[in-house]
Chain A
Amino acid sequence: MSQAFPKSLVLDVGHSWTKAFLIQNDKNKLLLERYSSVPTTIGDLSIAANTLLKDLKVAKGTNLIVTGALPETETLAKNLSATYTTQEEAESAFRKYLEKNGMKKSVILDTGEYSYANNLKISHIGAFLTFDASENDIENYFGNKSLKPESVPTSPQELEIEEAFYRVAFSQNREFIASPNVVNVIITGALLPLLPKQAKIALIILDILAKGRIAQVKLDSHQFLHGFGALLKTYPEIGEWENDFWQPLGSFVSFGGKGRIMLDYGFTENQELNIVEDEIALIPAPKEQQVEITLLDLKDKPHFSVSGGAFGVLLDGRVKPLKLGFGRADSRDAMKRWLSAIDKVEVIG
């Protein structure tokens, strides 16, 4: 039997950052009262934990829940007299929550799950850059990142390298590859929710979305996924409550070239659109809006029901897989063109 939900502080100890969330119940709506994060103090996790408790001015006796990716997290929870949930348990509870809420077989793209490894080809990462860089430059960037994983990209070039890395890493995500043509995607982790322009996240997902596929994307803007899962594990009833932790970015459609689409908003007339090759277009649709879409140029004219979001329905007319190559000027130009196009999309959105 579950316990009544008290005001709780959830600590999520990640490989590079430790996050704290002060959560309370407002008439069956979960509210994020305060949150903060500091680098994970490898060697002594209590330093980060105590700093966060102090930062958030947590009152004595507040219910504490701890989850995390590191094995030492369990000892930390014990020392804090907190309820401990493993990261696997937290993620499992979150997946059940998604299924209950109609998001079956969702794919979680978590930046925290990836670190640079030799099996990721540098040339694949480098192909997404808009500036000239050598393989050594890119490798050295990741080498230095491994020495200080909590560091944040300071220049636009560093940020591009990280974004390029997640494009390659996400494109190799087995769940994402094996998922059905219409896939629910949850984006979480340390970097992407912090990006200055959400349009950049949209372009990352569009870049890896194969021809004929549709992704309905939600952003974990507070990196609360594992913390929420840990809360769900202890208090399953909160799964029924309202929350606004998952920001709908909208539905992204990849045509793989030029194409036609029929949009049915439930009005008296449907809208038919032509997408030209290499175009990225946005159809405004708020998050509550359900849109029936039909891809008119594909065999059997597949029909899907999707919902809107910050970007409404994004239509991608670029040829997939993207024809990019490392060190090629035309690739750099193409990436600049697409970034500029998606920037304009955000202005409209």
Chain B
Amino acid sequence: MICPVWKRVNANNQFDLVRAYVVTCKPSVKVRDKVDAESVVAHCEVSAGQRLVKVSHVLGISRNSVKKYLLRNIGDRIYQGEIIARKKGMLGVGKKELRSPVDGVLTDIDRNGDLIVKFLPMPVKLVAGAAGMVSGVREDSVTVRTFGSEIKGAAGLGKNRDGIIKIAAKPGEFLIPQKIDGTCQGRIVVGGAHLDRAAIEKALTIGVKGIVVGGMDYRDFISLGVTSDVGITIVITEGFGTVPMGTDIFEAFNKLNDKFAFINGLERTVLVPEENKVVDNKPLVEETWRELKVGDLVRYFRPDTAELIGVVESISEDKIELNSGIASICAQIKFISGNKLNAAAANLEIIS
């Protein structure tokens, strides 16, 4: 029987960190360039949209006469604090002026007499985020080959974010709102067997960058929008329901506590880069499926148990009837506790 291969904890190895452009960017590096974490890999321009300036309301004039009171023309560049419209009073009384609230370009006057000011694009630099070598430059991203440790979960959502790892709960605990406090701001919070909606809402309010947890309810997961981004990235290490975080993953995070990391929901990974390590530009090969063998370390997912990982002691040649009555090729697994169990081989994942 073939099973998927899952590298749950991949320590001290090379990884490709994809630095995606959120707006139009111009790469400033080329493949094989060496970079530091702070090296600029692309120059971007972020335009934050536009703003309405209520000219007719502030000056007390009719919406049709706004143009008459403007001191600058449509299309002009304006600066914050600059007087852009003025109404002269009678004998110095009733004089009113309007200053620009932002840097921008006068774009239009709408039918309510409001001035539309488009913000000036802000130059933004995209940094490598990790030391290493540029391994790819594409239209939408720069890839940096870096050295470090990667932890891969079972599911995730949210875009790539970064922050310092903070262990907030033990593997079997519930990650409740009380566990998430001000010290979690800007951090990647790790731990727990279950994450509920109230804790997610508190994390969003505080400004937590990401959460890594053993399990959460599928309903809450789906409600956050699997392909959209709600402002926080979540990686579930085991599955849906209440599932204690695997010892292997929790121990790895314990070693990486207080380190800078990237969390990617779509790839369900947490990547912790390390400085001063040599990397190469060879393609990274990842084994995805292979034949199950005796001696393999496997994960057998069942909700409400911490006993998920064991070693294959034997594999049946013929199909064996499971408790459900369905016949399947089975593997006998010995867990760390010494407990043994016959599991359908199709339900196993080989831990690499």
Known: A140-B217, A142-B218. A150 touches B324 (CB 8 A): no
Query: In the complex, are the beta carbons of B221 and A153 less than 8 A apart?
Result: no
A143 and B325 contacting across the interface, CB-CB below 8 Å: no
Closest chain A residue, CB of each to CB of B155: A147
Q: How many A-B residue pairs have CB under 8 A?
A: 102
Point out the residues of chain A lying under 8 angstroms from B328, CB to CB.
152
List of B residues within 8 angstroms of A48 by Cβ: 2, 289
Question: Is B315 an interface residue when CB atoms closer than 8 A count as contact?
Answer: no
Binds A, one of B20-28, B33-41, B339-347: B339-347
Closest residue on chain B to residue A143 by CB atoms: B218
- B347 A38 Cβ-Cβ under 8 A: no
- Contact among A38, A44, A118, A144 for B303, CB-based, below 8 A: A144
**Cβ distance A345 to chain B, nearest Cβ, rounded Å:** 17
Quick check: A144 and B240 within 8 Å, CB to CB?
Answer: yes
B1 within 8 A of partner (CB):
yes
Please tell me if A173 contacts chain B, counting CB pairs below 8 Å. no
Instruction: Tell me, yes or no, whether A196 is within 8 Å of chain B by CB.
Output: yes
Task: Pick from A67-75, A154-162, A174-182, A295-303 the stretch touching chain B.
Answer: A154-162
Give the shortest distance, in Å, between B319 (CB) and chain A (any CB): 10
| B221 engages A144 (CB within 8 Å) | no
Q: Are B218 and A150 in contact (CB under 8 A)?
A: no
Contact present for B217 and A139 (CB under 8 Å): yes
| Chain B residue nearest in CB terms to A37 | B346
Q: Give bound CA distance, A62 to B344, whole Å.
A: 32
B324 near A155 (CB under 8 angstroms)? yes
| A147 to B240 CA separation, bound complex (whole angstroms) | 9
Residues B237-273 near A (CB distance < 8 A): 239-241
B3 within 8 A of A: yes
In the complex the two chains form, what is the Cα distance from A142 to B303 in whole Å? 12
Q: Which residues of chain B come closer than 8 Å to A44, judged between CB atoms?
A: 288-289
Please indicate the chain B residues that have their CB under 8 angstroms from the CB of A120 in the complex: none
B322 contacts across to A, CB distance below 8 A? 152-155
**Interface contact A150-B346, CB-CB below 8 Å:** yes
Q: Is the CB of B288 within 8 A of A148?
A: no
Does B154 lie within 8 Å of A147, measured CB to CB?
yes
> CB distance A41 to B289 under 8 Å?
yes
Q: Would A154 and B1 count as touching, CB distance under 8 A?
A: no
B residues 279-303 touching A (CB-CB < 8 Å): 288-291, 301, 303
Chain A residues with CB under 8 A of B222: 118, 143
Residues of A near B343 (CB, < 8 A) are 154
Given the complex of chains A and B, what is the CA–CA distance between A39 and B290 in angstroms?
A: 11
Give residues in B with beta carbon < 8 Å to A.
Answer: 1-4, 154-155, 217-219, 221-222, 239-241, 288-291, 301, 303, 321-328, 343-344, 346-347, 349
5 interchain residue pairs of minimum CB distance: A196-B325, A143-B218, A143-B240, A140-B241, A140-B240
Write 23 A-B pairs (CB below 8 A) sorted by A numbering: A38-B1, A38-B2, A39-B2, A41-B289, A47-B290, A48-B289, A51-B2, A118-B222, A136-B241, A140-B218, A142-B218, A143-B239, A144-B240, A144-B241, A147-B240, A148-B347, A152-B322, A156-B323, A158-B324, A159-B326, A196-B325, A196-B326, A197-B325
Known pairs A143-B239, A154-B343 / 17 extra A-B pairs, C-beta < 8 Å:
A41-B2, A41-B289, A47-B2, A47-B289, A136-B218, A140-B217, A140-B239, A147-B240, A151-B347, A152-B324, A152-B326, A154-B322, A154-B324, A154-B347, A155-B324, A156-B325, A196-B321
